[in-house]
Amino acid sequence: MGSMNVTLCGIELDNPVIPASGTFGYGYEFAELYDINCLGTFSFKGTTREPRFGNPTPRIAECTSGMINAVGLQNPGVERVISEELPRLSQTFHKPVMANVSGFSVEDYAYTCQRLDKQEQVGWLEVNISCPNVHGGGMSFGTDPAAAASVIRAVKAVTTKPVIAKLSPNVTNITAIAKACEEAGADGISLINTLLGMRIDLKTKKPVIANTMGGFSGPAIFPVALRMVYQTARAVTIPVIGIGGVSTAEDVIEMMLAGATAVEVGAANLVNPFVCRDIIRDLPNVMERYQIHALRDIIGGTIAWEKM
């Protein structure tokens, strides 16, 4: 069997498959279905400084080849994550876990990351900079290179573990944001977060989502995500995690050829809770079919071919 090991920001993973934040809870819910230690790691539910109830309902809408959600970062807040969720998680998952962090000010991000950085099981800090900047007119941190860099710089100043900047696709120049994060000290980049979308109920003539718009995810966004992973991997020297519409072992291989070191699986977990386990089981056969002996050898294979 071919080797599936990869190294992400200095930490070795048994395989590159990572359930994405917001689709896997804090892990123990899925641990009731299968042994989640088969995963490379997982990114736990987006955590903020204070508890958040989330947005009003309805906040989920089905779409062709995808879904829209506007959950609104519902979570118990960082102190309860530390005191309750992580101890419970440690009983079922015995590898370093990725902590996903959200905030509404630079200070929020720094505080939450500093607290999580001290937790033994946390291996990486995935900083979601797609959140609105409450001190900057509400524009997402991730849509402006300077704002994105300010978050990463503040987080790096108070942490010791690898910091991964999670980028929004709702920008005109993804590489400018990625390079700004790298220059500010980011150890890795993950992308893409959800695209902005909406649906209208023909009976009520009103938006399906109470918030009007929400994050569009699922298989339909895979080509967009793949393109942005490819562009970003060519623009930075730090590892890239590919996210967006991944649901098969073949998708994982494609993301890695585009330049991803590891791959997160999001909406597919909500359709089939066993999908990550199944992808990991399928990878050896897909590797053999395409004559791949080690996954680490194909990272950025398309980029390498282009330079020949």
How high is the pLDDT of residue 72? 82
Evaluate whether residue 128 is within a structural domain: yes
Evaluate whether residue 173 is within a structural domain: yes
How high is the pLDDT of residue 261? 98
Q: What is the per-residue DSSP string for the chain? A: --B--EEETTEEESSSEEEPTTSSTTSHHHHTTS-GGGSS--BPPPB-SS-B--PPSP-EEEETTEEEE-----B--HHHIIIIIHHHHHTT--S-EEEEE--SSHHHHHHHHHHHHT-TTEEEEEEETTSB-TTTTT-BGGGSHHHHHHHHHHHHHT--S-EEEEPPS-SS-HHHHHHHHHHTT-SEEEE--PEEE--EETTTTEESSTTS-EEEESGGGHHHHHHHHHHHHHH-SS-EEEESS--SHHHHHHHHHHT-SEEEE-THHHH-TTHHHHHHHHHHHHHHHTT-SBGGGGTTHHHHHHH-
How high is the pLDDT of residue 306? 60
- The number of domains in the chain is 1
Which residues form the catalytic set?
131
How high is the pLDDT of residue 54? 83
Q: Which CATH number is 134's domain given?
A: 3.20.20.70
Evaluate whether residue 200 is within a structural domain: yes
Evaluate whether residue 259 is within a structural domain: yes
How high is the pLDDT of residue 308? 47
Q: Which residues of the chain have pLDDT under 70?
A: 131-139, 302-308
Evaluate whether residue 1 is within a structural domain: no
Instruction: Give residue 250's domain range.
Output: 6-307
Evaluate whether residue 73 is within a structural domain: yes
